Amino acid sequence: MMEVEPMDLLRSNLSRVRIPEPTNRIFKHECCLSFDTPKSEGGLYIDMFTFLAFGKDCVGWNFEKTGNPVYLHVKKTKKLVPEDRPTKKPTRLAIGVEGGFDNNEPEYEETHSIVILPNYISLPFPSVELPEKVRLAADAIVLAEGAERKEQVAAWTADKKTVSTYAMNLQQLDNGVVIPPSGWKCAKCDKTDNLWLNLTDGMILCGRRNWDGSGGNNHAVEHYNETGYPLAVKLGTITADLEAADVYSYPEDNSVLDPHLAQHLAFFGIDFSSLQKTEMTTAERELDHNTNFDWNRIQESGEEKEPIFGPGYTGLVNLGNSCYLAATMQVVFTTRSFCSRYYINQSLKKAFETAPADPTVDLNMQLTKLAHGLLSGKYSMPVYENDDNSSIDATTKTPKQEGIPPRMFKSVIAASHPEFSSMRQQDALEFFLHFLDQVERSNAGKAELDPAKCFKFGIEDRILCSSGKVAYNKRRDYILSLNIPLHEATNKEEMELFRKLKAEKLSEGKDVSAEEIVRPRVPLEACLRNFSAPEEIHDFYSTALKAKTTALKTAGFTSFPDYLVLHMRKFVMEEGWVPKKLDVYIDVPDIIDINHMRSKGHHPGEELLPDAEPIDEDSNQPSANEDIVAQLVSMGFNQLHCQKAAINTSNAGVEEAMNWLLSHMDDPDIDSPISKGNSSDNVDQSKVDILISFGFEDHVARKALKASGEDIEKATEWIFSNPDASVSSMDASASNTTSASNDVGLSDGGGKYRLIGIVSHMGTSTHCGHYVAHILKEGRWVIFNDAKVAVSVNPPKDMGYLYFFERIDG
């Protein structure tokens, strides 16, 4: 058989070559399926039709899948630098720029060639002999910035806000609204997160609904469309650093700066003047000492830490405030479930074969890539001084690893969450929950493959009414969030002595040193005990008494997960909107046993609270309170609507009735006469059956459909927004099935756990500072501090923000 000339072979495949358009995403810095780069041994192959990049081990798979044979091969080789190269004296206070400090970055020589698969026939580039189309395409790829870096720059640039033109002369209505520091809820629905304060009228409303159904219910933007009030600030982002607050301008359709934000917030009772001080107070200096101590202790500064390399010991490069992601993912991929799903049982090739045309946007592909990058050991190799001066700690001359940059994974996981798309620091807990939600969604319909379920467990609330009757309510969660009972500190005597010492030093005009500061020590057992302790519920409407009363609520597990994650509530909001981080140690043992926290379910002989009775002329169901109706009517609302609002909120009060009214104005039956029969039976049974198939109980499905005008999507949202909806109307059959229908699909076992991971936080807020992970691997604790991985000398077990426990079998 006659061998085809390379140039003829290339010409015969010109249809598989494209000249990139300005809008095309060109990947040229990193393989889409692995962490190979042009600096890797085999270089990088860029598909000249799709502009996706592949390492030498993956490019053959792309040819098999797409048939695309023409690639631009990019290889970077380190230039040899003379050992006696003189060090230039810096003339600018900067690193890695002209005239700045020399950061010893090695110089690389970049070479290119055109490669034709499957036989890897190579043609030199640049070359005038190449077809013009190939030359133009290759030139455009070489000159392009690269999608990887372009997206990162865009994320940084997106954080550079401009001053809103509406901030200077913003109208503010003197309507007497005063915003409390906590306990916020959307004025038009039950959303308690993603809330925005309109700076004109003080209305608190939920944000936009994301493409996947998460987020808010669009009430804030709808309010703007109705009123034209232009600016809103996101609650929870307001700190002493007002520039960091998230202010959105609806007419400008962008995040903006409001130079008068302090004044605009003060209008609604949010006063920051006390924080704008030129000198640090004693308390602030003490906080400064504590913060410095946190950084040193958690990062184990000053300790001689032995670097570790190999499978499971790969660091993650910080992409710019991405340590929250790095610390969380290092612990996640310590679990058997995630290791099996994305590493042991799924090869890179298998994930690529099932991925869409663009594997960079596929969560399954990018999780598999991250898993293989972290766990294979391929990218966790010691780099020594004679290999790469930039990877050597100049003081110790010890080897380091470069780590892998999780850019593509971050881009995919953040696609449905604007905050994680930014380059700002984020809350590791929020990221962990968002990540698990996305993993669960991506495995929808394949429950047996979903690794997120290893963290999921059931909780049952038992409500004891003053009538002696009870109700049960079940829910599922991924984390157990624990309050810290400071009054149960075990070192009260030392704290008292410290208080006296501090008072003495203060009277002498001196500060306490970092070594003298004493923090309260609270046992983890006390936090768990506090979770299980009875909690009073005031204004609980009892269907037995047909009146409001005080009830007692206790909570217990209905299932124990394979991995239990405990979240320590260290961040609180004080009066005056001052965010505070609790300076406290949590004494966490290596082994915990929570078997005693399992719910016992419905006790024999217990009488359950009856279902809410239907509204009927002859029944004892309360009719609309005339005072509530009169006050609502005086505000301009329809009489019938006001009566319905009062009845549907059990005459709880004007505010509750108004909230109900505002969120039900568009109900199709809002103008229908008040039903005298059991209206919950009038909903479409087929829609009830659909919600039951989703795993919801019959009475909850009926209530949700009634509240949402029988809209399936709205009903589902209503159920998730009202987790306590079934508290007062749980029937006996549902209450008796403690681990039955509600716990289907949940793993369960004994309640004995071993501590395997800690995510610690340094800084005064979850949205600033730094996160570090400590993980128990192969019998020893290891610190993962971004790209640095080393044996931990003194793991900060008492300073964690998130604690990860693994169930001990047997």
Tokens standing for residue 571: 């961040």
Helix (H, G, I), strand (E, B) or coil at 760: strand
* From 475-489, 599-613, 732-746, the region with the lowest mean pLDDT: 732-746
* pLDDT mean over 684-710: 67
642 in a labelled binding site: no
Q: How far is CA 567 from CA 527, 696, 706, in A?
A: 11, 27, 36
Closest residue by Cα to residue 713 from 690, 697, 680: 690
Residue 474: strand pairing partners: 460
Residue 395 one-letter amino acid: T
Tokens standing for residue 762: 């340094």
Closest residue by Cα to residue 232 from 206, 266, 263: 206
For residue 455, give the DSSP letter: S
Residues near 622 by beta carbon (within 8 Å), at least 6 away in sequence: 546, 647, 650, 651
The whole-angstrom separation of Cα 735 and Cα 744 is 15
Strand 770-777 relative to strand 780-785, pairing: antiparallel
* Confidence at residue 161, expressed as pLDDT on a 0 to 100 scale: 75
* Confidence at residue 701, expressed as pLDDT on a 0 to 100 scale: 76
* pLDDT mean over 700-716: 70
Q: How do residues 592-634 score in pLDDT, each as one tens digit?
A: 999 999 998 888 888 888 875 443 334 444 578 887 888 777 7
Residue 762 one-letter amino acid: M
Q: Say whether pLDDT at 284 is over 80.
A: no
Assess contact for 179 and 268: CB atoms under 8 A.
Answer: yes
Q: Give the pLDDT band of residue 274 (cuts 50, 70, 90).
A: very low
Percent of the chain with pLDDT over 70: 75
Q: How do residues 184-202 score in pLDDT, each as one tens digit?
A: 889 998 888 788 999 999 9
Q: Give the pLDDT band of residue 34 (cuts 50, 70, 90).
A: very high
Q: Give the pLDDT band of residue 732 (cuts 50, 70, 90).
A: very low
Report DSSP letters for 53-120, one per residue.
Answer: EEETTTHHHHHHHH---EEEEEEEEEPP--TTPPPPPP-SS-BSSTTSB---PPPEEEEEEEEETTTT
Residues near 280 by beta carbon (within 8 Å), at least 6 away in sequence: 288
Q: Say whether pLDDT at 728 is over 70.
A: no
Please, how many CA atoms are within 13 Å of residue 253, restricted to the half-sphere of its CB? 1
Q: Say whether pLDDT at 756 is over 90.
A: yes
Residue 372 one-letter amino acid: H
Catalytic-residue membership of 567: no
Q: What is the 3-state secondary structure (H, E, C) of 672-715?
A: CCCCCCCHHHHCCHHHHHHHHHCCCCHHHHHHHHHHCCCCHHHH
Top pLDDT among 714 and 135 is at: 135
Helix (H, G, I), strand (E, B) or coil at 166: coil
Assess contact for 359 and 32: CB atoms under 8 A.
Answer: yes
Residues near 761 by beta carbon (within 8 Å), at least 6 away in sequence: 428, 570, 769, 770, 771, 801
Q: Give the pLDDT band of residue 116 (cuts 50, 70, 90).
A: very high
Host H or E run for residue 803: strand 800-807
Architecture of domain 6-80+105-158: 2-Layer Sandwich (3.30)
Closest residue by Cα to residue 219 from 233, 227, 208: 208
Top mean-pLDDT range of 359-368, 604-613, 649-658: 359-368
Q: How do residues 499-545 score in pLDDT, each as one tens digit?
A: 888 888 778 777 777 677 888 899 999 999 999 999 888 878 888 88
Q: Give the pLDDT band of residue 729 (cuts 50, 70, 90).
A: very low
Assess contact for 57 and 37: CB atoms under 8 A.
Answer: no
Tokens standing for residue 507: 């009277």
Buried b or exposed e, range 532-543, using 16+ CB within 10 angstroms:
eeeeebeebbbb
* From 101-115, 140-154, 593-607, the region with the lowest mean pLDDT: 140-154
Tokens standing for residue 699: 């009475």
Residues near 225 by beta carbon (within 8 Å), at least 6 away in sequence: none
* Confidence at residue 719, expressed as pLDDT on a 0 to 100 scale: 67
- The whole-angstrom distance between residue 379's C-alpha and the CA centroid of its chain comes to 27
Q: How far is CA 809 from CA 116, 374, 721, 738, 755, in A?
A: 54, 27, 36, 23, 14
Tell the residue number behind the tokens 């979903």, with chain if given. 450
Top pLDDT among 148 and 656 is at: 656
Q: Is domain 195-290 classified as CATH 3.40.47.10?
A: no
* Confidence at residue 154, expressed as pLDDT on a 0 to 100 scale: 52
The whole-angstrom separation of Cα 507 and Cα 406 is 52
Closest residue by Cα to residue 412 from 382, 368, 466, 474: 368
* Confidence at residue 51, expressed as pLDDT on a 0 to 100 scale: 95
* pLDDT mean over 333-349: 95
Query: Helix H segments across 299-379?
Result: 323-332, 336-339, 348-354, 363-375
Topology alike, domains 6-80+105-158 and 195-290: yes
The whole-angstrom separation of Cα 243 and Cα 232 is 14
The whole-angstrom separation of Cα 86 and Cα 526 is 61
- The whole-angstrom distance between residue 245's C-alpha and the CA centroid of its chain comes to 18
Give me the torsion for CA of 608, 612, 616, 619, rounded to 10°.
Answer: 40
Helix (H, G, I), strand (E, B) or coil at 634: helix
Helix (H, G, I), strand (E, B) or coil at 808: coil
Buried b or exposed e, range 595-615, using 16+ CB within 10 angstroms:
eebbbebbeeebebbbebeeb
* From 92-101, 122-131, 232-241, the region with the lowest mean pLDDT: 92-101
* Catalytic hit among 323, 339, 454, 642: 323
Sketch the domain layout of the chain as residue ranges.
6-80+105-158, 195-290, 296-384+399-454+777-793, 626-664, 685-723
Top mean-pLDDT range of 88-97, 446-455, 554-563, 700-709: 554-563
* Confidence at residue 600, expressed as pLDDT on a 0 to 100 scale: 86
* Confidence at residue 48, expressed as pLDDT on a 0 to 100 scale: 96
* Number of other CB atoms surrounding residue 151 within 10 Å: 17
Q: Say whether pLDDT at 734 is over 50.
A: no
* Confidence at residue 527, expressed as pLDDT on a 0 to 100 scale: 95
* Number of other CB atoms surrounding residue 260 within 10 Å: 17
Tokens standing for residue 688: 């009830």
Tokens standing for residue 307: 């670097």
* Confidence at residue 128, expressed as pLDDT on a 0 to 100 scale: 93
Q: Give the pLDDT band of residue 432 (cuts 50, 70, 90).
A: very high
Tokens standing for residue 506: 């203060």
* Confidence at residue 312, expressed as pLDDT on a 0 to 100 scale: 95
Q: Say whether pLDDT at 91 is over 60.
A: no
Top pLDDT among 579 and 498 is at: 498
* pLDDT mean over 472-480: 90
Tell me the residue ranges of DSSP E strands in 527-686: 535-542, 547-557, 563-568, 571-574, 578-581, 585-587, 591-593
For residue 453, give the DSSP letter: G
Q: How do residues 3-18 score in pLDDT, each as one tens digit?
A: 779 999 999 999 999 9
The whole-angstrom separation of Cα 760 and Cα 257 is 31
The whole-angstrom separation of Cα 176 and Cα 178 is 6
* From 135-144, 271-280, 511-520, 663-672, the region with the lowest mean pLDDT: 271-280
Q: Is domain 296-384+399-454+777-793 classified as CATH 3.90.70.10?
A: yes
Q: How do residues 374-411 score in pLDDT, each as one tens digit?
A: 999 999 988 875 544 444 444 446 788 889 999 999 99
The whole-angstrom separation of Cα 58 and Cα 117 is 12
* Confidence at residue 511, expressed as pLDDT on a 0 to 100 scale: 75
* Confidence at residue 653, expressed as pLDDT on a 0 to 100 scale: 77
Catalytic-residue membership of 770: yes
Superfamily name and number for 626-664 = Ubiquitin-associated (UBA) domain (1.10.8.10)
Q: Give the pLDDT band of residue 665 (cuts 50, 70, 90).
A: confident
* pLDDT mean over 649-668: 75
Residues near 139 by beta carbon (within 8 Å), at least 6 away in sequence: 126
Tell the residue number behind the tokens 């390492």, with chain if given. 55
Host H or E run for residue 255: strand 254-257
The whole-angstrom separation of Cα 418 and Cα 410 is 12
339 in a labelled binding site: no
* Confidence at residue 616, expressed as pLDDT on a 0 to 100 scale: 39
* pLDDT mean over 753-769: 83
Q: Say whether pLDDT at 733 is over 50.
A: no
* pLDDT mean over 315-330: 91
Q: Say whether pLDDT at 129 is over 80.
A: yes
Average pLDDT of the chain is 80
Q: Give the pLDDT band of residue 98 (cuts 50, 70, 90).
A: very low
186 in a labelled binding site: yes
